[in-house]
Every structure is written in structure tokens, then in C-alpha cells.
Amino acid sequence: MEALIKELVETYGPSGEETAVRELIDEKVRGSVDRTFTDNLGNLFALREGPAPRLMFSAHMDEIGVIVTHIDGNGFLRITPIGGVAPHLLVGQRLRFKDGVIGTVYHEKIKGLKELSWPKLYLDIGAASREAAKERVRIGDMACLHQPFVNLGERYLAKAMDDRIGCAVLVEAARRLPPSLPQGVCFLFSVQEEVGLRGATTAAYRLEPDYGFAVDVTSVGDTPEAPLMAVSLGKGPAIKVKDSSVLCHPRVRELMIETAEREKIPYQLEVLERGGTDAGAIHLSREGIPSGAVSIPCRYVHAPSEMVDVSDVRHAVNLVMKLSTRAWPLLDSGNGSR
């Protein structure tokens, strides 16, 4: 699985430019499912057919990045963020464009970090003039972090763990599913999560699943003087209770806990005070879709190097698999008068 994770996190894919990630995942997952297809926004659906109900697991393909808004007379590029990027975390970082152009971010003269804002940042791709820059980059081109994957032994370090690690978990879970399932399962690889859960919004509408699960990273409280949060690296995947986008359906959460306990999969419970996931969009689709989330604990979310624990990832794969193979209750479609 390490090779798969390395390949996924090192692929270019800021929100709206997920093509390379999608093609890679499609190739990896196609053999394990009945069919794959895409939609207008670029979501990738990988479907295992089966009787009702239908489960949907969603991991997002996109990562945070920047977009070029201006090329100045000397060939420097001005940029604005795609998703929640903190400007101070970009200073000195290398960024890469789709076709491989690389540059570094620095700032204009400032008195202190407090003055650091997007208009003060620029991207230098080593172009000696405006013309030279324009040959390599156009306004509207996007770039993402350029960081190699590193295996630290028990832990992995890389850019875009958020949420390629979720993608890797789904691809791996799909591979390991038995030939027969008690219900249909769709693995959704969604787009544009970082800019507002957009891909999951249209995908859930299209697929109309009975249950939805986001598979995404979550923050932790186990680093020095971290915000109070009872999630740590290495203690198993987290079963989400709440974040700012969703209050997970109590029944779904209980069934997730029951599954983890029965299968002896270590787990933690997660209350994330700031941040959202695809479950936020999925549970409000159409007439409502009971939803939950499997979170992979991750340090330094949205920083250039995000860290996850190898055993957490392994257990997350197992949990997604066991959630797929256990039978989920049929939902009545409401006994309304319509």
C-alpha cells in the first residue's frame, strides 16, 4: 500500500484540476469494481453493484493550492489561495504546476509575520522577464505543493495526505472486498472538497445513496500545546461525532462503533471544532442521507508536510471493508402521504 500512497500524494491535483489524480485512481480501482464513471464536475464513481441499501464512501481527490492572478513586468507571479492555505506556511516552499514548472514563494518587504497576507506574496519561477514567464505560465494556471513522500518508519510524511490517504484507503478497501456483498457500495472520489464540498454535493444528488460516509483526515490534539482534542496519532481511525459541517447520524455512528468493536478494530471518537468533510454535503442531499465519517488522524493538516500513522491507515482500510461487508438496515422511505 505504501507504493500506492506515495504515487497518490505526489500527484498534482489542486481543486478543479483533479484530472491526473482521477486517471491514476481509475486505473488502480477499475479492476476491483463493476464499473467506474465520471460526472460533469469531474467526480469519479467506482461502483460495486448489489441489493439495497446502497452505501457511498467519499474521499476527495483535490488538494489545496494556489492560482496565478497576475504576471508582472519582471516575470514574478501573483497568486491567491485555493482552499484554506495559510500564507505563512507557503513562504519558502516550492510549488509545481501541472506541466512541471516549479517555483518558490517569497514575500515583499514586511516588518513581521502579522503583515504577511496574500497581496504580499509572489511566486518566482525563475523567469527573467514577463515574456519568459508567459511562455511557461498563464493567468489562471494552478500550482500545488512540491514535496516528496517520506516513510518515517511508523509514520508517513507528505503533502496532500488530506485527502489522498482517504483515496488510498478506499482503493485498498475496494481491492480487498469479497466477491459478494450484502449491499451495493459506491466509492466516490470527489472533487473540489477544499473549496466547499462541491463535488460531494452533486455526486450525492446523482447517486442517491441510502448511507453516506466521508473518509478524510482529521486534526489531532497530541502535539505540544495543541488545542484540546481527544484524538491522537496511532490510536486507530476516528469515528466522527461532529464537525462544523455535520452532526453524524446517531444510528449510523452506533453501527460504526458496533462494527469496530466486533471486529476488534481500535478506534477513537472525534469531535472536530473547526473543519468540515464531504459528509456535510452528503447528509443534506435531497431528502436527507444518514451519514457518518471515518477519519484518519493527521498532524499538520494543510501544512506542506502532513503526517499520518501507518497502523491508523491499515485499520481504516479494515474498518471501511468491514462497514461494506456488514449488512445495513433498509431505510423505510418515510411513510408520508406523498
Q: Which residues are catalytic, by number?
A: 193
For residue 202, the minimal CB distance to another protein (Å) is 3
228 binds another protein (CB under 8 A): yes
Distance, in Å, from the CA atom of 298 to the CA atom of 233, rounded to the nearest integer, reads 7
Q: Is there a contact between 54 and 41 (Cβ–Cβ < 8 Å)?
A: no
Window 285 to 314, contacts with another protein (CB under 8 A): 286-290
Please, which residue, 196 or 234, has the CB nearer to another protein? 196
Q: How many residues in total does the chain contain? A: 338
334 binds another protein (CB under 8 A): yes
Q: How many positions of this chain bind another protein (CB under 8 A)?
A: 55
Among 1, 91, 132, 229, indicate the residue that binds another protein (CB under 8 A).
229
Which range touches another protein (CB under 8 A), out of 2-10, 147-155, 244-252, 303-311?
A: 244-252
Window 49 to 78, contacts with another protein (CB under 8 A): 67, 69-70, 72, 78
Q: Is there a contact between 189 and 60 (Cβ–Cβ < 8 Å)?
A: yes
Could you tell me which residues come within 8 angstroms of residue 327 by beta carbon, excluding any fewer than 6 positions away?
Answer: 182, 183
Q: Give the x-and-dash track for 7-46 against another protein (CB under 8 A).
A: --------xxx---------------------xxx-x---
Handedness of CA 236, 284, 162, 13 (dihedral sign): positive
Please, which residue, 116 or 229, has the CB nearer to another protein? 229
From the list 23, 9, 57, 56, the residue with the least C-alpha distance to 216 is 57
Phi, psi of 97 (to 5 degrees): -90, 170
- Which pairing describes strands 94-97 and 102-107: parallel, antiparallel, or unpaired? antiparallel
Residue 200 CB-density burial (10 A; 0-12 exposed, 13-18 middle, 19+ buried): buried
183 binds another protein (CB under 8 A): no
For residue 228, the minimal CB distance to another protein (Å) is 5
180 binds another protein (CB under 8 A): no
Among 110, 113, 139, 330, indicate the residue that binds another protein (CB under 8 A).
139
Phi, psi of 316 (to 5 degrees): -65, -40
Q: Is 63 helix (H, G, I), strand (E, B) or coil?
A: strand
Handedness of CA 320, 204, 4, 222 (dihedral sign): negative
Please, which residue, 69 or 151, has the CB nearer to another protein? 69
Positions touching another protein (CB under 8 A) are 15-17, 39-41, 43, 67, 69-70, 72, 78, 80, 82, 119, 139-140, 192, 195-196, 198, 201-203, 205-206, 221, 228-230, 241-242, 247-250, 253, 268-271, 273, 283-284, 286-290, 331, 334-338
